[in-house]
Structure formats: C-alpha cells, structure tokens
Amino acid sequence: VIEHRDTTHGMVRTEIRCGSCDAHLGHVFPDGPPPTGLRYCINGHSMVFEPGK
C-alpha cells in the first residue's frame, strides 16, 4: 500500500493506492478510534471477500 497526500475537494486526506498496480483503494482519515486514531474508508470494489471457514 502506498500513501499519497490528497488535497482535492477542499479536504486534506491521505489516499491509499495499491503498491503493485497503483489502483485507488480509498482514504485514511486521522479521526478514528484509539489506539491508532485512524479511520480507513476503503472502496468495497477493491476488496475480495472470501467465505468464512
């Protein structure tokens, strides 16, 4: 995962992209819960869901 500063749409946020193909995965915001304080907003289309075992 690669992080980029994103200042579009009048906001300051961190965009995260795939380290292999550079696809947009979503954003990380600094207003999340402890202990990290980070909130991940990930595009559902960028994830692969597998059934539980």
The catalytic site residues sit at: 41
**11 CA to centre of own chain:** 15
Judge contact between 1 and 14, C-beta under 8 A.
no
Give residue 52's identity as a one-letter amino acid code.
Answer: G
